[in-house]
Amino acid sequence: MQEYKAGLLVIAPEDEGQQQNRRLQTILQQAIAPYETEVWRKAEAFTAIKQRRVLFVLNLGADGVNLEYQKLLRKIRTTADCLEGCVGAVLIDADSELYTKAVGRELVFAANQSGCVFPGKPLVEGTASLDNFLVQARNLQTDRMGAYHHAVEALLDRLMTFEQRLHRQPQILAVHASNRATSNTLTLWGKVKQHLEDSCRVQEISLQNGTVVDCNGCPYQTCRHFGETCSCFYGGVIVEEVYPAILDCDALVILCPNYNDAVSANLSAFINRLTALFSQVRFYEKAVFCLVVSGYSGGDIVAKQILGALNMNKTFLLPSRFALLATANDPFSINKIADIDQRAQAFAQNMLQQLRKEHA
Ligand SMILES: Cc1cc2nc3c(=O)[nH]c(=O)nc-3n(C[C@H](O)[C@H](O)[C@H](O)COP(=O)(O)O)c2cc1C
């Protein structure tokens, strides 16, 4: 079990060219008050840290640019393993309706590649209008600011109480929509899977050939109604096969070829169709991993799409180094990448470290 040092580390890069953000200062002060806290405001202060509970706080102003954050991002990307054994959460406030989610994904992806774990729903955003809190405010019978305070307090609670659950024999569910006869992504998965099968139960589900219809976008009450019986408006393979397998698994692995710098349509439909199940169940105890193969470039965009959808929105835990990215275009050319077997093995070993109780 991962141990964390006591207290909270707040990393809040302060760009002197920006106007002060009193809303963010107020909300942060109130949320961190119960915890013993250390605050870093300059990227220069950032060195490799281990086993800390870290809250990243970003003021993006009106233009979405925080130059001190850019320096921090460079340090995170260039200092190997600089967040090893840490758990993170992110609070972003802006004087704009844009940028908060995109910057949040970028930061989480970089920190995760450097070893940081993120619990489900690790990002709270305050857009300029706080209209993103209208639904929560209605549910909590408060105003937008009240809902914002509530969300940040809950974020701190998730961060400060986080413990990663390990399993004697992890149940792994791999979901794909690829053709076994040609797919680089499935070939890469084969290289990873062979190192898991001795100590995990591995199930695979194929969502090929239009078996999955995209989400109908039913009204919330209708979606909830179907969700109560672990069902959905459309039924089919998603309800009969995928929902039970998701409920059963400890880790979901999504096998994603890069299609137009995005998750392919079948996999995207699968993620959208989790909404009915999500109306009943939260996935905080389940981990999400992904394999992304691009013909040319852009694997990071696809990985950020996965973490945005499944970790930030749908509450799956993001284990350290959740994504394996590779570049290969022609069928089976993945086999020609010189170190691909070692990379696949290292990825499988990391999965085991993130999921499995040792000496079971
Ligand atoms: C419809 C389609 C769109 C694609 N778009 C991209 C792309 O935007 N960027 C890229 O790097 N590769 C792109 N590719 C190439 C695949 O990512 C590449 O073939 C890779 O090996 C993964 O696919 P596979 O697992 O099906 O073999 C695309 C392939 C297809 C069929």
Quote the ligand 1 centre to 307 CA distance (angstroms): 20
Q: CA 322 → CA 10, 254, 279, distances in Å? A: 23, 10, 25
Please choose from 207, 260, 330, 340 the residue to mutate so as to test ligand 1's pocket, defined by most ligand atoms within 8 A of CB: 260
Q: Are residues 201 and 337 in the same domain?
A: yes
User: In the predicted model, what is the mean pLDDT of the chain?
Assistant: 95
Last residue of a domain, one of 161, 190, 221: 161
Q: Are residues 122 and 234 in the same domain?
A: no
In the chain, the percentage of residues whose pLDDT exceeds 90 is 88
CB atoms closer than 10 angstroms to residue 360: 10
pLDDT of residue 282: 96
Domain of residue 302 covers: 171-355
Check whether residue 22 and residue 139 sit in a common domain. Answer: yes
- Is 284's C-beta closer than 6 angstroms to any atom of ligand 1? no
Note whether 152 and 292 are same-domain residues.
no
Give me the CATH number covering residue 20: 3.40.50.360
Q: Which residue has its alpha carbon closest to ligand 1 atom 24?
A: 183
Q: What band does 236 get if pLDDT is binned at 50, 70 and 90? A: confident
Of 217 and 18, the structure prediction assigns the larger pLDDT to 18
288 vs 112: CA distance, rounded Å = 12
Pocket perturbation via mutation, ligand 1, pick of 258, 260, 290, 335 by most ligand atoms within 8 A of CB:
258
Distance 266 CA to ligand 1 centre (A): 14
In a domain, 2, yes or no: no
DSSP string, 16-37: TTSPP-HHHHHHHHHHHTTS-E
Q: What's the domain count of the chain?
A: 2
pLDDT interval class at 329 (50, 70, 90): very high
308 sits in the region (left: phi over 0; alpha: psi -120 to 50; else beta) called alpha
Residues 244 and 294 in one domain: yes
Give the angle 19-20-25 at the CA atoms, nearest 5°: 155
Confirm or reject: Cβ of 266 under 6 Å from ligand 1.
no
Per-residue pLDDT tens digits for 115-133: 999 999 999 999 999 999 9
Distance CA 57, CA 71 (A): 14
Mean pLDDT for the stretch of residues 202-212: 86
| 285 closest CA partner among 315, 264, 306 | 315
CA 258 to chain centre: 18
**pLDDT by residue (tens digit) across 335-359?**
999 999 999 999 999 999 999 997 4
* pTM score of the predicted model: 0.96
For 284, what's the count of Cα atoms within 13 Å in the CB-facing half-sphere?
A: 12
* Residue 64 CB less than 6 A away from ligand 1: no
Q: Which amino acid is at 251?
A: A
The reply to whether 200 falls in a domain is yes
142 vs 218, higher pLDDT: 142
> Does the CB atom of residue 335 touch ligand 1 within 6 A?
no
Q: 40 and 111 share a domain?
A: yes
pLDDT of residue 228 exceeding 90, the answer is: no
- Mean pLDDT lowest among 128-142, 202-216, 234-248: 202-216
Contact 268 CB / ligand 1 (< 6 Å): no
d(CA 61, CA 65): 7
Q: Does the pLDDT at position 208 exceed 90? A: no
pLDDT at 210: 64
Residue 235 is predicted with a pLDDT of 77
Task: Give all strands of the β-sheet with 87-93 in edge-to-edge order.
Answer: 37-40, 8-11, 53-59, 87-93, 123-126
Q: Which ligand 1 atom is at minimum distance from the Cα of 328?
A: 21
State whether 102 and 207 are in the same domain.
no
Whether 199 and 266 share a structural domain: yes
Per-residue confidence (pLDDT) for residue 360, from 0 to 100? 42
CA 186 to chain centre: 22
Q: Whose alpha carbon is nearest atom 4 of ligand 1?
A: 259
Do residues 225 and 107 share a domain?
no
pLDDT tens digit string along 262-309?
A: 999 999 999 999 998 998 999 999 999 999 999 999 999 999 999 999
Tell me the CA distances in angstroms from 241 to 237, 244, 248, 300, one per residue in order. 5, 6, 11, 29
Does the residue 57 lie in any domain? yes
Tell me if 1 is assigned to some domain: no
261 Cβ closer than 6 Å to some ligand 1 atom: yes
Give me the pLDDT at residue 211, please. Answer: 72
